[in-house]
Chains A and B, each alone.
Chain A
Amino acid sequence: MFEYLSYGDAGFGDELLAGSLLTLELALVSLAVGIFLGLITAAAKLSHHRVYRTVAHLYTEVVRGIPEMLVVLVVFFGASVLIQTVATWFDYNDYIEVNAFVAGVFALGLVFGAFSSEVFRGAFLAVPKGQLEAATACGMTSWQVFHRVRLPQMWRFAIPGLGNLWMVLLKDTSLISIIALDELLRWSKVAAETTKQPFTFYLAAAAIYLVLTILSDLIRNYFEVKANRGIAPHA
């Protein structure tokens, strides 16, 4: 059973490793896109303009109400139809394939952005008002109040929520195998079909995901302890 997992030509060890790296890369890039989208959406939700607020809430509600898999399919096929249509305007009629990695990043980022906007909004509001007033009373400008007092503390409130969303994102990367990106699950599938050892390879993929989750857990704990230093623990 184990010879199939060996490194090199005989086994699929190196393919699984390459797939794992692509999975990690996909998750990290999506995280960056998702945090960016989440911050903008949170800002829009806290805005005084009604239009911004409505658009932001609409985006969040829609994404939260439909399966992630549907988001992935809509982004992938939607983008390819869109590009194809634009291409025909320029008399280009060959088939254009949408890059699965880019579509995956966009889809996962969209989902992460919707959920994280709530985390950011909550963290923004969780900073005690008295501190902000005190900072203003000290003569700080509103920008100084934001980046000296509010921003550093938002981080502390946001970590637990962001940590959970990262775990969800990490596991959701497996969905991108549906649009044929050569990530971990896709390679496991190829290996399973070639060797007729599906159990071995899907269990191996699960084990790799488990390692990534455990590592993420450790990193999250580290950040949480670090962010909360100097804060008295709950009685």
Chain B
Amino acid sequence: MPDFSLITQYGDRFWDGTLITLKLVFLSSVLGLMIALPLALARSSNKRRFWIPAYSYIYFFRGTPLLIQLFILYYGLGQFPVITDSFLWPVLGDAEWCGLIGLTLNTAAYTAEILRGGIRAIPRGEVEAAKAFGMSWAMLQRRIILPRALRIAWPAYGNEVVLLLKGSALVSTITVWDLMGETRSVFSRTYALEIFLYAAIIYFLLTFILTRIFNQIEKRINRYLVCY
């Protein structure tokens, strides 16, 4: 029989954890998108000095577990006195900052790959038409390529943000008090399995709401398409 007194007793901690999770997901998805845009352009370039670094970055972050990336950032960097003695340490020595940086760098790699798919899917005629109008490279990117790529890639990007939300639970391993961190701490104190059930319900609701929001935005940004 579930013991509902646990909710009244630990409700605050779940709430605080949920807020931290939401904050991390929101900030890292926005910052990640900002890094992903130039990264996707570099990856789509046919100049070697652009696509090779972008490709390596994407391959590293997509080819290794997020958990290890977080460990390298939070535990690994402390190995070097150059970093611990520098002005960067207040940031890099802090768990929440490391969580944010790790999630951002990780999601940037996945998002860049999604955007690249969007860029490749833009009908050639549109790009040619823009060039025929005499648009410069920068204007072409700003007016045609990026807005179009983002629209095409939007559903896939929504999936990535859901994955980011689920992946954000990993920051609890580097002592961040996100929803998962609070859950594990409350569980280790009570050993009541329903704690996990409550956490599952909250995560499930968050992913559900997030999916809804993305679907709404998708309808809005693509409403000019006739067949939509």
Contacts and interface: CB of A to CB of B under 8 A. Distances in A.
B193 interface: yes
A68 B76 contact: no
A192 B63 CA distance: 21
B76 A203 contact: yes
A66 interface: yes
Contacts of B204: 62, 65-66
A213 B180 contact: no
A199 B77 contact: yes
A205 interface: yes
A70 B76 contact: no
A172 interface: yes
A194 to B, nearest CB: 13
B79 interface: yes
Interface of B: 59-60, 62-69, 71-72, 75-80, 165-170, 172-173, 180, 183-184, 187, 193, 196, 199-200, 203-204, 207-208
B199 A70 contact: yes
Contacts of B77: 199
B193 A65 contact: no
7 contacts: A67-B170, A77-B187, A175-B65, A196-B79, A202-B72, A203-B76, A206-B64
B193 A66 contact: no
Contacts of A202: 68, 71-72, 75-76
Contacts, number: 109
Given A66-B166, A66-B203, A198 B180 contact: no
A214 B76 CA distance: 24
Contacts of B67: 174-175, 177, 185
A149 B116 CA distance: 36
A171 B106 CA distance: 13
Interface of A: 62, 64-70, 73-74, 77-78, 81, 171-175, 177-178, 185, 188-189, 192, 196-200, 202-203, 205-206, 209-210, 213-214
A64 B169 CA distance: 14
B196 A77 contact: yes
Nearest to A201: B76
B192 to A, nearest CB: 9
Contact of A199 (B69, B76, B187): B76
B203 A69 contact: no
B196 A214 contact: no
Given A67-B203, A70-B183, A188-B68, 17 more contacts: A65-B207, A66-B166, A66-B207, A68-B166, A69-B169, A69-B170, A73-B196, A77-B193, A174-B68, A177-B67, A197-B79, A198-B75, A199-B79, A205-B68, A206-B60, A206-B65, A210-B63
A210 B196 contact: no
Given A69-B180, A81-B193, A198-B71, A213 B79 contact: no
Contacts of B169: 67-70
A65 B208 contact: yes
Contacts of A175: 65, 67, 170
Given A69-B180, A73-B196, A81-B193, A214 B63 contact: yes
> Closest 7 A-B residue pairs measured CB to CB?
A199-B76, A67-B169, A213-B63, A174-B65, A171-B65, A65-B204, A67-B166
Contact of A206 (B68, B165, B207): B68
A74 B200 contact: yes
B132 to A, nearest CB: 25
B208 to A, nearest CB: 7
B193 A171 contact: no
Contacts of B69: 206
A202 B167 CA distance: 19
